[in-house]
Every structure is written in structure tokens, then in C-alpha cells.
Structure 1
Amino acid sequence: MRSPSNSTSIRLGTSLFAALSGSIFLSACAGEARTTEPENPTSPTPMVTAEASAPTTSTSEPVATAEPQPSVSAASGPTALPSSAPAQLPKGMKVLVIGDSFAEALGVGLKSKEAETGVKVVLRGEKATYIPEWAGPNRGVAGMMIQEKPDLVVVALGGNELAMTNPDVRGPKVKQLVGLFGSTPCVWVSPPLWGNKDNGLLEVIRKNSSPCRYFDSNVLSPDLPRGSDKIHPTAEGQKKWAGTFLDWAKKERDGASSTFSLKVRPSDE
């Protein structure tokens, strides 16, 4: 029969053995688990969010960019005139006005605007004169051109020939007079008609006055105030007629030329 002390010792030994065996087993399992991990683990890869992983080129609608601005050339700088703005008449330019009493009326109107425009007007009009006189040597147009050296010649003739029955005979004389101006810019200003006076002379002048420009007073400056004779313009009418002509000359000036020049006469003028 075993003593109580021996039984107790046996039980303690058995328990200790079981505990040690379990500890060894757990240690072995833990060691086996650790051998599956790398010896030198690398730094963990940072988690990539959906926003960070998106490509640099967005698939959303492109951001609107500013429209490219057209290059500005030197001609469009502040010193250049807009295409729609009429060129001004050069200060000090000389205008020679020749013709009959209508030339006198227009010339007086132009002279009244000399201070405003800076244009010098030389008036050589003569009442009751005719186209053939001015085309021939008697009026001395060739000498005037040499003496005055005008920048522009303005002709106002034909008012005294509106009663002719055969105005076509004036065609060659119109050409002859225009030829005296050489290369100087020129404008033939038609007489403003009165009443029903139109015998076809104005059409003869228009067709034969090229390369001079043709200013049709009856279209461009109608309803002029007339004097007591119902023919010639009043002082107010002279200024109105002259003002319309100057505005037209500014518009028709060839701005590309360094000196005064008119645009080439259009085919329908």
C-alpha cells in the first residue's frame, strides 16, 4: 500500500510532464509558423486609393483653354486707322478749282472750310464759261498746273451747256481738258440740276472724264438750298455742297499713298 506522499509526488510529476509536453508542442508549432515569414520583410506597400491610382490624364471632360489671340501686326497698332475710318486730308494740301459759276459756288464753300480742314483752295472759276474754253489755250489751264502745282484739281463745268441739243459733241473736249491735268488727281463735279434740265450732258461728262473721279452732285448732295434765281446755291448751300464733297474726298482717298491720291475710279462711277 502506497503512502499518501508518494501518490502526491506521482501526480505532481505526471502533471508537470503533461505541462512541459504541451509547452514543447506549442513552441514547435510557433516555430513552424514563423519559418513561413521572410527573414527580412520589406516595407509594406502603401495602400493605393482610387483617387491616387487614377491615370494622370483625366477621362472627364477636358478643361476649356483660352482661345488663341490673333497676332497683332504693326499696321494694327494705335497709329493705324481702322479700315472703316475715312482717311483725313493732308494739312496744307492745295486744291485747284476751275469751271463756271458753279465752280465759283463750290470754291467759295471750300474756302470757308480752310481753317477747319487745313486745305488751301485756289479758285479760278469764271461765270458764263464753257467746256471747250477750258479745254483750249484761252483759259491757260496748262500754265495753272505749272504755277500752282495742285495736289487735287476740281472741275465744275457744264451748267451752261444743259440746253444743248447735241451734247455728245462735248465728249472729246471733256477728254482734252482732263488730259491737261497729267497725273494729278482730279474730280469732275457735275452741276446740280434744277427743274427738269437734263439733256444727257452729264452722262457724256461721266463717260469721258476718266481717269478723273466723278462726283454726282444730284445723287450725293441733293436738295441744295438755292438762291433767288432757283439755280445757284445760297451761302448755306455752298457750305453744304462743299462739306459733302470733302467727306466724299476723305472716304475716296487712297490711304496707302504717302501723298494725296484718290482710289482708282470704279467701273460703275
Structure 2
Amino acid sequence: MREVGDIGDAQTRLARAACLCAIVLATSTLGACSKSHEPGARPTEPRSATPEAAASAPPPSAAAAATAAPSPDDASVARADAGDAGTAEAGLARLAGKVVLHAGDSMVGGDGGLSRALGAKFRAEGAKFVRHTEVSLSIQTFARSVKLPNLLARHKPDIVILTLGANDVFLPSPQVFAPFVETIARKIGARECYWIGPPTWKGDTGIVAVIREHVAPCKFFDSSNLPLKRGGDRIHPTEKGGADWADLFWAYFQGTGSPAPGLVGDAGLLDSGN
């Protein structure tokens, strides 16, 4: 009978031990679950995708790719716009504190003169603008005189603008003016230089081509095809004509306009105002 009792006691103890283990295990599991939901508990980090899973993922649709990336045309337009704006701003910024000399014949001065409107543009950008004009001034006279060297020595310009040739357009044998054009350009030296050609009010016998071919290193602005509005003498531009002329040269000076405006379809180039 004792053996049977001993066996029963042993079974009882084993059952209690099993129950105790079950209780401990349940308590541990419950605690772990509770901690994962406690405030401030560190969330379980997601497992990274395996290479196999990444390789099997479908590629983005063509519509999604087009939406995500700008089209080449849009990017090109944006770059072009930024480039044009940057070029113009850089060109104007360099004028601050510079001295600009504008010399020439009667096309320069007067109420309808080119220089009046042009000077306002340069001064607005911080440049000092000096004007020298002479009535009936010819290329030959200006080349042979000491006026240009004196102007250069007195004002020390950084930029020189010449408007000459209006009194020479009707003369025969324009090639005789070639050495005089070269002399003027040589006197200006290494300075930045622009020669604004004459509006050919009596027809061009060839002087415009002579100036263009011999003016280097100065840059030539061809005005011969501009439909400028003229005053009562049918020669000099009106105030509106001078302002339009200045606008076209200013665009060329900035790098955004043509060196020969009016050569390609001048209709509508300048309005019909006085």
C-alpha cells in the first residue's frame, strides 16, 4: 500500500510542477506582449526586403516615370530662359562706374538725336555718359583731326560709340574712306568700341560696306535698313525715331538683338508713331 501512496504523491508533485511551468510561461508571454504596446517602447523594425523580393518587384509604370521626371523640353526651356536672363543681367552689371563716350555727326545730337535716348539707358545702369557731336562731320575730317585723341585723353572712356557716315553716304568712290575708318579704329585702341552706321537717307553708294569691312576691332551696327521716322528736313530722325534707333542698338549691345536690324522683313519693326 505504501508503494501505491508514494506513486500517487509523485504524480501529484509532477502535476503541480507542470501547472507551475505553464503559469510561468503564460506570465512571460503576457509581459512581453504588454511591453511591446507600452508608450515609448521601441517598435519592431521591419525586415528589409531580400534581393529576390526586390528583383521580383514590378517596375514603375511609364506614366509614373513621366510624372516624376521633367521632360527634356521643359528642362531645356528653363535653362535657356535662365541663360538669357543671366546674360543680360551680367552685361548690364558691368556698366556701373564705367565711362561711355558717344561721338559723331548731327545724327548724335539734337532733340531727335540717337544720343539723347541712348544716354538715358547707360546712365540708368550707373555709367557716366559723355556726348560729342559736330554738324556736318565726315569720316575723313574726324580721322585727320586731333579731336578723337583729345576726347580719349580727357574723358578716359571704357566704351566708345561712334555714329559717323551720314555725311559720306552720297559721295562717289567710297573705297577712299577705308584708310580713314582704319585710322579711327586704331586711335581707339583696345577700348570696347561700337560703330553705329548711318541710316542711308540719300542712298548708299557703298560706304556702309566700307565701314563694316574696315572697322575692326570695333563692332559694326548696321542702321542702313531701319525705317526710322524723319523730321521736317527728311534727314534727321524725330524724337520717336531716335528713341526707336536707340532701342535697337541697346538690344544689340546687350547681346539680345541683331547687328543689322531691318534686313529681314522690316515691316512692323518700328511702329508708325511720330
What TM-score bracket applies, with the shorter chain setting the length?
Answer: 0.5 to 0.7
Question: Could you give the per-residue CA deviations for residues 191-239 of structure 1, whole angstroms, max 9, x where no partner exists?
Answer: 11225x11011000100001100001134xx221110011101112222
Aligned ranges 1:37-116 → 2 under 5 Å: 55-63=52-60, 82-85=82-85, 86=88, 87-88=91-92, 90-104=95-109, 105-113=113-121, 115-116=123-124
* Aligned positions of 1:1-269 closer than 5 A: 55-63=52-60, 82-85=82-85, 86=88, 87-88=91-92, 90-104=95-109, 105-113=113-121, 115-136=123-144, 138-194=145-201, 197-219=203-225, 222-251=226-255
Helix, strand or coil at the partner of 2:251:
helix
Letter in 2 for 1:201: I
Q: How far 1:179 moved relative to its partner?
A: 0.3
SS at match of 1:98: strand
4+ residue segments displaced more than 4 Å: 63-68
Q: What is the Cα-based RMSD across aligned positions, in Å?
A: 2.8
Q: Structure 2: 5+ residue runs without aligned partners?
A: 1-48, 71-80, 258-274
2:107 is paired with a residue whose SS is helix
Give TM-score scaled by structure 2 length.
0.61
Deviation at 1:186, TM superposition (A): 0.4
What's the TM-score, normalizing by structure 1?
0.62
* Closer, same or farther: CA 227–53 of 1 in aligned 2, 3 Å: closer
Measure, in 2, the Cα distance between the counterparts of 1:84 and 1:194. 35
The one-letter code matched in structure 2 to 1:155 is L
1:53–1:251 Cα change, 3 Å: closer
Same amino acid, percent of matched pairs? 32
Query: Which structure features the higher share of helix residues?
Result: 2
Provide structure 1 residue ranges, at least 5 long, that are not aligned to the other structure.
1-51, 69-80, 254-269
Contact 2:114 2:245 in 1 (8 A): yes
Offset at residue 159 of structure 1 (A): 0.8
Instruction: Between 56-65 and 140-149, report the one with greater CA deviation.
Output: 56-65
Partner SS for 2:255: helix
Instruction: Provide the rounded CA distance (Å) in 1 between the counterparts of 2:140 and 2:184.
Output: 8
SS of equivalent residue, structure 1 residue 159: coil
Compared CA separation, residues 100 and 61, structure 1 to 2 (3 A) = same
Could you say if the C-alpha distance between residues 245 and 59 of structure 1 is closer, same or farther in structure 2, counting changes exceeding 3 Å? same
Q: Which amino acid aligns with 1:56?
A: A
Cα distance change, pair 106–214 in 1 and its aligned pair in 2 (3 A)? same
Q: Which has the larger radius of gyration?
A: 1
Shift of residue 251, structure 1, vs aligned partner: 1.5
The whole-number CA distance in structure 1 between the counterparts of 2:59 and 2:99 is 63
Paired positions, count: 186
Change (3 A) 1:218 1:53: closer
